[in-house]
């Protein structure tokens, strides 16, 4: 393998100048930098990442933190889409992405120790919970960060992207009201996540405005099996529901199974609406009316918010909120 000394000799500069040019340091003239670049290309020299890090104080690595169980991360299309898009944006800057799946408790503490150790230049956080307090922790560490989804605590301290979940849930619930449903239940997301609380708030706001009851609510976990179990419990406690707003399409898919098992036809007996539109809603029977969750746009903007911090072009926390978009299908 070619060495840095060989690069310096071919470029006609000192080893120190070649090192600064290769590793992104300052105090290198344009002429010397060009000569070193030509020598690197001619020899096929590959810089030592450890040396580059010493000069730039950068690892060229970004962590994507997902505080969720492994089985949910690899089963939910939300995470695959998020990781794919964010990685595409970051790879354009030659940044490596490290996936950190951090369950609450000891694993979260281990993740925080890793972040404090200077192993990454910044982080993107996805699907966070109130108890992980990641916004507060990352602000205290001073590590550049961008969140996909508004943190329930410390949101004012960090950059984040978010859909307008309250408006989206309100609008999709309004579809049920306009259809003539008068006993509308909901399966919420986890109440320790902003998506769970905001979508429940939108459902409640629509029913309050229509003068309808808001007692038929049960918490779900954003999984298909969780949606099925929650729907069975909801039917047991509120057998008269004629409309159902489910806070994710995965849960709605499970709810459709439960309704079918109970002998209820969708939408004739119970109209159902979901949330996300990430490829599941059009494959259910019947296809789901839902709200498009702009995952790709949120992941892309979160990556750009992180890059702006790494470049030093912004330090004041920003938020980007996307308006809801309804997708009408036959389940409602």
What pTM was computed for the model?
A: 0.81
In-domain check, residue 139: yes
> Could you count the other beta carbons within 10 Å of the beta carbon of residue 27?
9
Provide the residue range defining the domain that includes 185: 165-292
Statement to judge: residues 314 and 236 lie in one domain: no
Look at residue 332 and tell me if it is in a domain. Answer: no
Instruction: Say whether both 128 and 192 belong to one domain.
Output: no
Which tens digit of pLDDT belongs to each residue from 97-143?
A: 999 887 766 677 888 888 888 889 999 999 888 888 889 999 888 89
Convert the pLDDT of each residue in 60-74 to its tens digit: 899 999 888 777 777
Whichever domain contains 26, its CATH number is 1.10.260.40
Token reading at 169:
């849930």
Q: Are 159 and 306 in contact (CB under 8 A)?
A: yes
Question: Does some domain include residue 330?
Answer: no
Both tokens of 286, joined, read 């019947």
Tell whether 221 is covered by a domain: yes
In a domain, 112, yes or no: yes
CA distance 247 to 230: 12
Residues 117 and 96 in one domain: yes
Residue count of the chain, please give it. 332
Task: Note whether 284 and 184 are same-domain residues.
Answer: yes
- Alpha helix stretches (DSSP H) within the chain: 4-11, 15-22, 30-43, 49-56, 70-75, 77-91, 106-116, 134-141, 165-179, 194-210, 224-237, 249-261, 295-311
**Residue 327: inside a domain:** no
Residue 148 is assigned to a structural domain of this protein: yes
How far apart CA 21 and CA 9 sit, in angstroms, is 14
* Domain co-membership, 246 together with 304: no
3-state secondary structure 192-240: CCHHHHHHHHHHHHHHHHHCCCCCCEEECCCCHHHHHHHHHHHHHHCCC
| Residues of the chain under the 50 pLDDT cut | 54, 56
CATH number at residue 92: 3.40.50.2300
**Is the CB of residue 169 less than 8 Å from the CB of residue 200?**
yes
Specify the pLDDT at position 312. Answer: 87
Same domain? For 193 and 153 the reply is no
| 182 backbone dihedrals φ, ψ, rounded to 5° | -125, -10
How many domains does the chain contain in total? 3
Phi, psi at residue 190, to the nearest 5°?
-55, 135
What is the structure's pLDDT at 16? Answer: 86
How many CA atoms, within 13 angstroms, populate the side-chain half-sphere of residue 66? Answer: 19
Say whether both 198 and 288 belong to one domain: yes
Does residue 170 share a domain with residue 157?
no
Are residues 264 and 177 part of one domain?
yes
User: Do both 288 and 299 map to the same domain?
Assistant: no
Same domain, yes or no, for 132 and 77?
Answer: yes
């Amino acid at each position: 393998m070619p060495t840095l000394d060989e690069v310096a000799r071919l470029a006609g500069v000192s080893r120190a100048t070649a090192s600064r040019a290769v590793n992104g340091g300052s105090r290198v003239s344009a002429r010397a930098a060009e000569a070193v670049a030509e020598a690197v290309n001619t020899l096929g020299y590959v810089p030592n990442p450890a040396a580059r890090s010493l000069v730039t104080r950068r690892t060229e690595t970004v962590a994507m933190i997902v505080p969720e169980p492994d089985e949910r991360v690899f089963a939910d299309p939300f995470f695959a889409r998020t990781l794919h898009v964010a990685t595409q944006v970051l790879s354009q800057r030659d940044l490596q992405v490290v996936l950190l799946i951090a369950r609450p408790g000891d694993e979260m503490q281990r993740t925080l120790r890793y972040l404090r150790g200077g192993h990454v230049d910044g982080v993107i956080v996805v699907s966070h919970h109130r108890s992980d307090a990641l916004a507060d922790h990352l602000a205290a560490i001073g590590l550049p960060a961008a969140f996909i989804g508004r943190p329930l605590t410390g949101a004012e301290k960090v950059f984040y992207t978010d859909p307008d979940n309250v408006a989206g849930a309100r609008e999709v619930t309004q579809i049920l009201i306009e259809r003539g449903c008068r006993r509308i239940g909901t399966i919420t997301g986890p109440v320790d996540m902003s998506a769970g609380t905001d979508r429940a708030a939108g459902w409640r706001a629509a029913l309050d405005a229509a003068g309808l009851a808001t007692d038929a609510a049960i918490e779900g976990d954003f999984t298909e099996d969780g949606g099925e179990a929650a729907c069975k419990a909801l039917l047991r406690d509120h057998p008269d529901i004629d409309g159902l707003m489910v806070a994710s399409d995965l849960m709605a898919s499970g709810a459709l199974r439960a309704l079918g098992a109970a002998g209820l036809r969708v939408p004739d007996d119970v109209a159902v609406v979901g949330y996300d539109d990430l490829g599941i809603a059009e494959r259910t029977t019947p296809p789901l009316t839902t709200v498009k969750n702009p995952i790709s746009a949120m992941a892309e903007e979160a990556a750009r918010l992180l890059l702006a911090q790494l470049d030093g072009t912004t330090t004041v926390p920003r938020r980007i909120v996307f308006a809801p978009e309804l997708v009408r299908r036959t389940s409602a």
